[in-house]
Amino acid sequence: MPNDNEVKPAGMMNFLALSNDSTVKTFIMATLVCLVCAVFVSVSAVMLKPLQQLNKELDKKKNILQVAGLYQEGDDIEAAFSKIDIKLVDLETGEYSIELNAETYDERRAAKDPALNVQIDKASDLAGIRMRPKLMPVYQVKEGDVVKQIILPVNGYGLWSTLYGFLAIESDGQTIVGLSFYEHAETPGLGGEVDNPKWKGLWSGKKIYEANGEVGIDVIKGSVIPGSANEAFEVDGLAGATLTSRGVGNMLKYWMGVEGYEKYLKKIQTNGV
């Protein structure tokens, strides 16, 4: 029950005594509401930041598991991810690097950090990304002590956006298991069909390098001709989305090439993982 006898400061009394139609009272009330909301939003943003970070990391892990075919809806992501070792690879040498902590390394942040990135020459920037990290994480899926698959982060420009995804390959460093994008802004129904499970299914079993060592994998315009010489290296283009399709092909040409994972993958092909 409000106590009418309660002593209020004179300023407060004057404010409350103002008519509800008063411009001053309306303005002060609106300012107070804004202040309270601003404090509420700021406190929520700060408090929820660690949770958002955790969810982002879980989502990344889920995408890695999905491209490797190791995730079903409802699975415990952390438990499934415990089969995966993360290592950093120096793309210049193709060797593993222990310079930084692989568990906490963020390749997207590294790509923007002048101390951790390299500028890509315009002529060789097939992926249209301008900069890439010196070190890239590789995710090794193990069965016991044996590495069965390697998952490589890739990114490149489509038509409207940079697509970010993962290419899963077998431990032979040559055979593709799957390709999946976790972030892009291509048009739904056109370039957005990169997410279509039917199209994603076309990647399984495709080969990366031709017999002469060149990167062969590509997305072509139209459909792959069964029995053709390049069948093992080609994936059908997306209908009505030639530019996104070309972007995906070019991104793989870049990342599987000499500035990308080529030195690492060639080492694996000769020496094992």
Ligand X SMILES: Cc1cc2nc3c(=O)[nH]c(=O)nc-3n(C[C@H](O)[C@H](O)[C@H](O)COP(=O)(O)O)c2cc1C
Contact residues for ligand X (CB under 6 A)?
A: 159-160, 186-187, 190-191, 239-244
> Minimum distance between the CB of residue 156 and ligand X, rounded to whole angstroms?
13
> Minimum distance between the CB of residue 250 and ligand X, rounded to whole angstroms?
12
> Minimum distance between the CB of residue 95 and ligand X, rounded to whole angstroms?
37
CA–CA gap between residue 57 and residue 175 (Å, rounded): 27
> Minimum distance between the CB of residue 126 and ligand X, rounded to whole angstroms?
16
Which of 220, 240, 238 lies closest to 229 in space, CA to CA? Answer: 220
> Minimum distance between the CB of residue 66 and ligand X, rounded to whole angstroms?
22
> Whose Cβ is closer to ligand X: residue 185's or residue 258's?
185
CA–CA gap between residue 89 and residue 103 (Å, rounded): 13
The answer to whether 129 and 120 are in contact (CB under 8 A) is: yes
The answer to whether 218 and 252 are in contact (CB under 8 A) is: yes
Which of 114, 147, 241, 143 lies closest to 187 in space, CA to CA? Answer: 241
> Minimum distance between the CB of residue 196 and ligand X, rounded to whole angstroms?
13
CA–CA gap between residue 18 and residue 26 (Å, rounded): 10
Nearest residue to ligand X by CB is: 191
> Whose Cβ is closer to ligand X: residue 63's or residue 244's?
244
Please list, residue by residue across 75-86, b when 16 or more beta carbons sit within 10 angstroms of its beta carbon and e when fewer do: eebeebbebbeb
> Whose Cβ is closer to ligand X: residue 184's or residue 253's?
184
The answer to whether 255 and 154 are in contact (CB under 8 A) is: yes
Which of 131, 160, 163, 119 lies closest to 251 in space, CA to CA? Answer: 163
Which amino acid appears at position 19 of this protein?
Answer: S
> Whose Cβ is closer to ligand X: residue 35's or residue 239's?
239
> Whose Cβ is closer to ligand X: residue 151's or residue 235's?
235
Which of 25, 253, 20, 226 lies closest to 157 in space, CA to CA? Answer: 253
> Minimum distance between the CB of residue 178 and ligand X, rounded to whole angstroms?
21
CA–CA gap between residue 252 and residue 201 (Å, rounded): 17
DSSP-assigned beta bridge partners for residue 234: 218
> Whose Cβ is closer to ligand X: residue 149's or residue 244's?
244
> Whose Cβ is closer to ligand X: residue 77's or residue 243's?
243
